[in-house]
């Protein structure tokens, strides 16, 4: 049976993917979205961030974690 990551490890991986993604998006889109209502800014940012995290960063972090957890 494969070694499943704990909820704590999963939470850390998600945080490591989400936080930098949101920071970069804010830096890139902040001026463009500055005058938009908060709900609109949030929806736009989430619409861009979620696919980046789910399809790009999390699989990368999961592969990295699997390599680090392999017995030597």
DSSP 56: I
* DSSP H helices in the chain: 7-33, 38-51, 58-69
Domain edges within the chain: 23-61
User: In the block, which residue shows the tokens 């998600």?
Assistant: 14
**pLDDT score of 1:** 42
For the stretch 22-72, pLDDT in tens is 999 999 999 999 999 999 999 999 999 999 999 999 999 999 998 988 887
DSSP 36: S
The pTM score is 0.82
Dig out the tokens for 69 from the structure.
């957890």
């Amino acid at each position: 049976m494969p070694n499943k990551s704990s909820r704590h490890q999963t939470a850390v991986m998600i945080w490591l993917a989400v936080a930098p993604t949101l920071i970069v998006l804010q830096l890139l889109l902040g001026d463009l979205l500055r005058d938009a209502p908060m709900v609109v800014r949030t929806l736009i940012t989430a619409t861009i961030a979620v696919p980046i995290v789910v399809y790009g960063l999390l699989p990368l972090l999961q592969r990295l974690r699997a390599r680090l957890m392999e017995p030597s």
